[in-house]
Amino acid sequence: MRKKVSYNVRHFRLVDGEKQELNSHDYKELADRCKLAYAFMTTGKEHVLVNK
């Protein structure tokens, strides 16, 4: 039987040269930027998010 492995993922950002932990669930614009970056990497074209 395989041992279950759990990972702890933390995000950081640099503010004035100091590393600060970032709670990614509190920043919707971070998720939106990640979606745009992924879309660009997979298609090679620029994309824009729109509200429905």
Q: Is the pLDDT of residue 43 over 90?
A: yes
Residue-range definition of the domain harbouring residue 31: 27-52
Q: Is the pLDDT of residue 32 over 80?
A: yes
In a domain, 18, yes or no: no
Q: Is the pLDDT of residue 42 over 90?
A: yes
In a domain, 6, yes or no: no
Q: What's the number of domains the chain is made of?
A: 1
In a domain, 48, yes or no: yes
In a domain, 11, yes or no: no
* Whole-structure pTM value: 0.48
Q: Is the pLDDT of residue 3 over 80?
A: yes
Q: Is the pLDDT of residue 40 over 90?
A: yes
| 41 vs 37: CA distance, rounded Å | 6
Q: Is the pLDDT of residue 24 over 70?
A: no
User: How big is the CA angle at 22 (ends 41 and 10), to the nearest 5 degrees?
Assistant: 75
In a domain, 52, yes or no: yes
In a domain, 35, yes or no: yes
